[in-house]
Structure 1
Amino acid sequence: MPELEPGLSRIDTSRPHPARVYDYILGGKNNYPVDEELAKRMLAIDPTVTTSARTNRAFMRRATEWLAEAGTRQYLDIGTGIPTEPNLHQIAQAVAPDARIVYTDNDPIVLCHAEALLRSTPQGVTHYLQADVREPERIVQQAGEVLDFDEPIALSLISLMHFIDDEDGAYDLVRRLVDALAPGSHLVLSHATADVEPKAAEEVVELYRKSGVTLRPRSHAEVARFFEGLEPVGSGLVRVSDWRSDTAGGTLLPAGEQVSVYAGLARKP
């Protein structure tokens, strides 16, 4: 098992963490009362949060299956979150047993459950890094011990960048990560938006702010900026439920219900 980095050795249960809130919304048990409280208050404001989380997981599965079937054998997943089956490596290695996956997260509780992320096929590899997306060069350097950055890699940023504000360099962080990838690599990204329910989104942002967590929903145009210079795959940047929704694992939403998450997959030329 990887070792905790200095300063990350204690799980902070005094305020909610996005990974644990997400775990609660998905019906998991690896969260604390502070996470449950925030999740319930979010659901009271916007009951579609659960649908958004589930369709987000379904998007991750469809995108990973597409990548594996297209020949991708290396994956760098940042903002991994608490393991929820099927995990990315299980999806990729079901198609390509020799796939190599590096998971990265900054929450010590994810490390506590990393054993589930390290159950690779004999032919492949899975590895876990305790790191923050705000340290792109460090992530690339350490991931380079497992992945070959001279060959294509799928960079997965699922429901992560809406927790990074513009003032913290969200676009620059993604650019630096993509710049480190070889041509033929892909960016997989999903992101919360206020385009669907502006008032509800504003209230959820305020809930997070009072809990000490930044939440920055972005418009379609703002999310599209993360993909600048890349070639769209499939449906382009769409609602998370609509990306290749006609394929196996596509998401059927309840009548009249919409999700407040955009998603896309794009190739680095």
Structure 2
Amino acid sequence: MADVVFFDLDGTLVDHRSAVWEAIGQIVQAAPNATAPPQELAALWWALEARHMREYLAGQCSFAEHHRRRLRSFLPALGEPVPQSPRLLDAWITDRYLTAFEESWQTYPDVRPCLENLKRLPRGPRLAVLTNGDPGQQRAKLARFGLLEYFEAVLTPTELGAAKPAAYTTACRWMRTDPAQAVNVGDMLESDANAAVFAGLTGIWLDRGIDFVTGGPSPTADKTVLRIERLTDLPDHLSHTNV
């Protein structure tokens, strides 16, 4: 049995993609001066999120600034003027986007049953969340659904000083465990499963049937990848492995 199981958060515990599309969908549908159809505008927002999130994770800007950069690029396509003041940009994000985004958060139905079953395992593993997101926002998601109590730690680049995949080794040190005794579970084949294996952990790919980035079908994995389709498959999987 593993000593520690790390869980990714977005796309694994909480349906981040659906929340983004719901929130930005409301905005673009109500934009009378938009320069493109709603679907194109939503796709632009998603692409800008990925671009500026990478900048945040690389330490090139704060979490708030990554939102501002996204908005500066997006507002012209929405047909709206771009405020020069960071305060006004922050207000737009809070009032127009974050409120709807947070209201749209949902956990996947297999999350709580999985965590409850892990808690009941004899000599079960310690659990932690390992996410590249903002610590305040990620803890708020877990608190919303009463999930914080299941985890010994919620680890982000703020605590670890690095994002995944570099964070895997640091996260193991934080949890006082050896990578060989740790498991990482997440919905991203490369960054959650393959990168964890490269760092010496056991990587388990949660294949939810959709590519988190593109929204298309899941990528194809070779037969060496440990794969599950539901988090409720995880407790039994751990019970039958030598990790």
For normalisation by structure 2, the TM-score amounts to: 0.44
Q: Which has the higher contact order (CA 8 A, sep 6+)?
A: 2
Q: Structure 1 or 2: larger helix share?
A: 2
TM-score scaled by length of structure 1: 0.40
